[in-house]
Chains A and B, each alone.
Chain A
Amino acid sequence: MRFGKNIFYYRSYNVAIYVGLAAKGGGLLSEPILAVKGLKTTFYTDDGQVPAVDGVDFSVRAGEILGIVGESGCGKSVTSLSIMRLVSAPGKIVDGRIVFNGEDITHASEKRMRQIRGDEMAMIFQEPMTSLNPVLTIGQQLVEAIRIHRKTSKREAEAQAAEWLKLVGLPRPKDLLKSYPHQLSGGMRQRVMIAMAMVCGPKVLIADEPTTALDVTIQKQILNLMKKLNRETGTAIILITHDLGVVAEMCDRVIVMYAGKVVEEGPVKAIFKNPAHPYTKGLLASVPDLRNRKKRLYSIPGNVPKPGEITNGCPFHPRCEWAMDRCRGSLPEWAALGAGHRARCFLHDMKDGIAPGKGESHGGTAVNR
């Protein structure tokens, strides 16, 4: 692919997208570009309060890909909507802070947020059709996205739009600009969404299940594209997915969510090679691996809880093989496991720590040791 060259050519448009970013990106590598601290987002419904996000902490550095994994309803999307300040009634951010590029945006005005959204911070969703306007052409939408945030002539914006379509691997960009969303396939629409999110050179791109609705061969194309954009532009990506394979392939760091809380965080290798939280261990052991066919998969007993369903202790305790009395009594604090790896589990408080292998039957061995 002539990707690098395209980017170079793109600079001649004087859009100062990459030039500035690359310079900043290098210097700020240790500083987080986005930090989320103690975030709590609650929905006030007729049936009561739903603590969808219940004390979430994490940060993202420039240029990195952070994965957020977890099962349905654990709060991944609400976390990302909270960051973008797109949570609407009956939902509300009730606690915590969101610091973007040094600025506390937890209570920033809607006007300020509109400047940030689609410019410095962008988001793509699982179903691109819901975020593309069906009555406008791809070209009109891309041009608008560019011109909202940058002072460019219409012609220049059109040229940039075409260039972006080429960058995301779409054929015949000139024709595509004139077509409507429904005329494109799912994979093509997702590429358009990526182009749309990237046109202003965001510092952070939040991708919420960007490939879940796509076939695997198309997913592969899209993931490769996202990785390439990340490496070449320095845009940090928060990749939300329930697919552990996608995480392993794409991410530098991972946070694992369960019932509105982060239960483990670490570099991708640590999470996959040395999972520390029983939930992470169980999840990894329950997915089939193409290279290594097991006779039987491990399975975590019980059901995925709804937010707020488990009010006492560790949210995982009803399904956990190692649960002890104290797990039912109070919420475990973070246990540091070295090199950015930590887990919220009492087993790591104990002298010998936790070491049972994933998927084995070992009811309570760690406890008795």
Chain B
Amino acid sequence: MAEPLLTVEGLKKYYPIEGGVWRKTIGYVKAVDGVSFEVFKGETFGLVGESGCGKSTTGRALMRLIEPTEGRVVFAGQDITALDKRMLRKLRKDIQMIFQDPFASLNPRQTVGQIIEEPMIVHKIGTKAERKKRVRELLEVVGLSSAYADRYPHQFSGGQRQRIGIARALAVDPKLIIADEPISALDVSIQSQVLNLLQDLQEAFGLTFLFIAHDLSAVHHFADRVGVMYLGRLVEVAESDRLYASPKHPYTKALLASVPVPDPDYKSEGEVLQGDVPNPADPPSGCAFHPRCPFATDHCRRVRPELKTVEEEHRVACHLYA
């Protein structure tokens, strides 16, 4: 396979919990607790998991939108975690983000043209005329009319606003796009429009995606490889088809068995997972999944399993596969 464009090693993000009269730190929310993976050039790496498992925090910490507590992130041969502010700003041009809520992420007082042009101004790209031309091109690329440049975000539907967000991300020719739940706020018929657009752009411009979503069907459809997160840690990483055809971690299995299938003849197999996701401020000992796992042993309750390669291109953090 190609060389990794992004390598994440032991990434951690702990949020302090303050308490008492002196507002002392009395503990930590271990939002991301030692996550390692790599994203290869031109591929889509999907990050899935239930609410609060640390997907967004991972995406933000790896480009230092929030400072990681620990860990190393190497992007295109450069150690992001070691960069100073100025270098970091330069590097941000190469990593762009697309957000879940296309409305909240667009400034309502700017025209669509200004919104898309802004990252070019920030990174000092082109003359004014060149930038205007590029804005019109980008609007066409994402399937909007270039005549929309003078309109304001509120004049657009959710799907159109997401297209504007995508055009803005593309404006500076990024190498990596982190898309955090880019379709979950959209209508069903619009979700496939946006997924298809991202797919087309990837083919046209050789883009690399980190695709964060809780919708397992969408991730399976769009991603080449997938990492499954549970309570701040990766529990399984594999090529997409392989992960869905033969999941190994009991959590991945349960997750897949829970996805409603749009076929009334289909009878889902597999156990329904009992209980709730535990509190990340007070994670269970050993394997964080053990209180909900039907196969948990004493060993699981005591010792935390590491992510290990169990088959070619298939990594699992579970004692069952030791």
Report if A and B associate in a common complex. yes
Q: Which residues of A contact B (CB under 8 A)?
A: 71-72, 185, 187-188, 215-221, 223-224, 242-249, 268-269, 272-273, 282-284, 286-291, 293-294, 296-301, 303-304
B216 proximal to A (CB < 8 A):
yes
A289→B159 contact, CB < 8 A: no
Q: Which residues of B contact A72 (CB under 8 A)?
A: 158, 187
- Among B189, B193, B257, B264, which residue has its beta carbon within 8 angstroms of that of A248? B264
A244→B193 contact, CB < 8 A: no
Question: Which single residue of chain B is at the shortest CB-CB distance from A251?
Answer: B264
A299→B260 contact, CB < 8 A: no
Q: Which residues of B contact A217 (CB under 8 A)?
A: 50, 254-255, 258, 272-273
Interface residues on B, range: 35 or more
Question: Which single residue of chain A is at the shortest CB-CB distance from B218?
Answer: A288
Give A2 to B193 CA distance when docked, in angstroms.
46
A268→B264 contact, CB < 8 A: yes
A185-B276, A216-B255 known; A298+B260 contact, CB < 8 A? no
Give A289 to B216 CA distance when docked, in angstroms.
10
The residues in B between 30 and 69 inclusive whose CB is less than 8 angstroms from any CB of A are 50-51
29 A-B pairs within 8 Å (CB atoms) are namely A71-B187, A72-B158, A215-B51, A216-B214, A216-B258, A217-B254, A217-B272, A218-B276, A220-B260, A220-B272, A221-B272, A242-B187, A245-B217, A245-B260, A249-B268, A282-B189, A286-B188, A286-B191, A290-B216, A290-B244, A290-B256, A291-B261, A291-B263, A293-B241, A293-B244, A296-B199, A300-B193, A303-B159, A304-B189
Q: Which residues of B contact A291 (CB under 8 A)?
A: 261, 263, 266
Q: Which residues of A contact B190 (CB under 8 A)?
A: 303-304
Q: A188-B276, A218-B276, A248-B263 are in contact. List 7 more A-B contacts (CB 8 A).
A: A71-B189, A185-B276, A287-B188, A288-B220, A289-B261, A290-B256, A293-B240
Q: Which residues of B contact A249 (CB under 8 A)?
A: 260-261, 264, 268
Which of A224, A290, A291, A296 is the most central at the interface, judged by chain B CB atoms within 10 Å of its CB?
A290
Q: Which residues of A contact B259 (CB under 8 A)?
A: 216, 245, 290
Contact with A along B247-283 (1 / 0, CB 8 A): 0000000111111111111101000111011000000
Give A106 to B257 CA distance when docked, in angstroms.
42
Shortest C-beta distance, B298 to chain A (Å), equals 23
Nearest 8 Cβ contacts at the A-B interface? A245-B260, A288-B221, A286-B192, A215-B50, A220-B258, A297-B192, A299-B192, A71-B187
A290→B220 contact, CB < 8 A: yes
Give A218 to B196 CA distance when docked, in angstroms.
29
A303→B157 contact, CB < 8 A: yes
Give A288 to B217 CA distance when docked, in angstroms.
6
B309 proximal to A (CB < 8 A):
no
Give A291 to B261 CA distance when docked, in angstroms.
8
B195 proximal to A (CB < 8 A):
yes
